[in-house]
Amino acid sequence: MMHPIIGELVHEEFWVLFLNNSNKMISKSQPSKGGMTGTIVDVCLVLKLALKMALQA
């Protein structure tokens, strides 16, 4: 599912996939993009996105 997006990148990206109870993808988000060796992820931002998705369901 993500290979076409991140398969051949030369830098790091952090993606969050939001799934329903049947493990079907509801949405995806890219909260962080970094350099060649890593990226920094803000956990508060990821939790905020998850809560927003949960409230919309």
Query: Which pairs from 42-46 meet CB under 8 Å and 24+ separation?
Result: 46/16
pTM of the predicted model over 0.95: no
Give me the average pLDDT of each 10-residue run along the chain (57 residues).
Answer: 90 94 94 94 95 87
Alpha helices in the chain (DSSP H): 3-6, 43-56
Q: What is the pLDDT of residue 31?
A: 94
Q: What is the pLDDT of residue 41?
A: 96
Q: What is the pLDDT of residue 1?
A: 87
Q: What is the pLDDT of residue 39?
A: 94
User: Of 23, 39, 22, 19, which Cα lies nearest the Cα of 31?
Assistant: 39
Q: What is the pLDDT of residue 56?
A: 86
